[in-house]
Structure 1
Amino acid sequence: MLKKVALGGTFDHFHKGHMKLIRRAFEISNYVIIGVTTDELASKLGKVDLEPYEKRKEKVEKFVKEEFSNSKFEVLPLDDPFGPILEDESIWGLVVSPETLHRGYEATLHREKSGLPPLDLFIVPFELAEDGLPISSTRIRKGEIDPHGKTFYRK
């Protein structure tokens, strides 16, 4: 197992896709750092109508404590898109989705320029809803699906 792996996200309307990312991180390492986007950063990134940071953070912590009680983890606020991965040389891996893969490449380039080892990137495919489209917080907010990917059919 790797020493430490990290992942980050907004984790709005905590759903099956978020669970898949976190589970993958704990398959790779027993020490996982999870960055949760702060309200301020989310606003800068143009994300609107999100649950408050504290609520999102609590949902992540609750899931990890229930599923991985014997593993070490940290849930940190992300005030910038990268958090500790640019400078913490004890982090060797980054778990990303296809949506966040570009951040992984950016972080690896930055680390190499700073003399740190590159990150191993672990790409987790999107979790699909029953309609075959990715589960996303946006779709949940719009009322298209529930957090498990069940489609709400409208008449």
Structure 2
Amino acid sequence: MNSKKYNKVAVGGTFDKFHDGHKKLLSTAFEIGNEIEIGVTSDAFGGLKGDIDSCRVRMNNLKTFFSDKSNFIVIPLDDPYGTTIFDTNFDAIVVSEETEPTAVKINEIRDSKGMKPLDIVVVSFVLAYDGTPISSTRIRSGEINQNGNFIK
């Protein structure tokens, strides 16, 4: 079934405090791809960001959110590139404005290996009530909730 623009799409992140920005990023991947691989930063790699939920919890949150879909897998990421630098079947990668440089680096690595570059699909930030991006950091600090609303 090739009804989408791309057959295999990669998307990755920490996905801590699963929020509306994550939903937009992942929904975009599902809109354009037949098969989605979601990489979630491992505890060792993701732990560099500070106090975050375990990789297992974050992966389960994604599986629960997308329980109505069957065209995806969720894998742990131990580095910024995951399987995109080995798997020739990927056609595209969905990234945020913040992580676009990583996608560019992935394409440089793929090119050096003689692999075709990925189409890079950049998803704009989802803004909170105050016009600044929703982020897990802001949610962890108690500043906003997962929908970007002020917490009283």
- 2:94 maps to what in 1? 95
After TM superposition, list the pairs within 5 Å mapping 1:23-102 onto structure 2.
23-43=27-47, 46-66=48-68, 69=69, 71-102=70-101
- 1:143 maps to what in 2? 142
Using the TM superposition, give the Cα deviation of residue 101 of structure 1 relative to its aligned residue in structure 2, in angstroms.
0.4
Using the TM superposition, give the Cα deviation of residue 61 of structure 1 relative to its aligned residue in structure 2, in angstroms.
0.9
Using the TM superposition, give the Cα deviation of residue 152 of structure 1 relative to its aligned residue in structure 2, in angstroms.
1.8
Amino acid at match of 1:146: N
Looking at structure 2, the residues matched to 58 and 47 of structure 1 have their Cα atoms a distance apart, in angstroms, of: 19
Looking at structure 2, the residues matched to 130 and 62 of structure 1 have their Cα atoms a distance apart, in angstroms, of: 27
Amino acid at match of 2:121: F
Looking at structure 1, the residues matched to 80 and 67 of structure 2 have their Cα atoms a distance apart, in angstroms, of: 25
- 1:128 maps to what in 2? 127
Looking at structure 2, the residues matched to 93 and 150 of structure 1 have their Cα atoms a distance apart, in angstroms, of: 32
TM-score after normalising by structure 2:
0.94
Amino acid at match of 1:41: F
Amino acid at match of 1:55: V
- Identical-pair percentage: 45
TM-score after normalising by structure 1:
0.92
> Secondary structure at the residue paired with 1:115?
coil
The superposition leaves residues 26-52 of structure 1 with CA deviations (integer Å, 9 ceiling, x where unpaired) of: 111121000000010123xx3111011
Amino acid at match of 2:61: K
Using the TM superposition, give the Cα deviation of residue 112 of structure 1 relative to its aligned residue in structure 2, in angstroms.
0.6
Aligned residues: 148
Q: 5+ unaligned residues in a row in structure 1: which ranges?
A: none
After the TM superposition, list the runs of 4 or more consecutive aligned residues in structure 1 that deviate by more than 2 angstroms: none
> Secondary structure at the residue paired with 1:35?
strand
Amino acid at match of 1:53: C
For the aligned residue pairs, the C-alpha RMSD in angstroms reads 0.9
> Secondary structure at the residue paired with 2:40?
strand
Using the TM superposition, give the Cα deviation of residue 3 of structure 1 relative to its aligned residue in structure 2, in angstroms.
1.1
Looking at structure 2, the residues matched to 64 and 105 of structure 1 have their Cα atoms a distance apart, in angstroms, of: 28
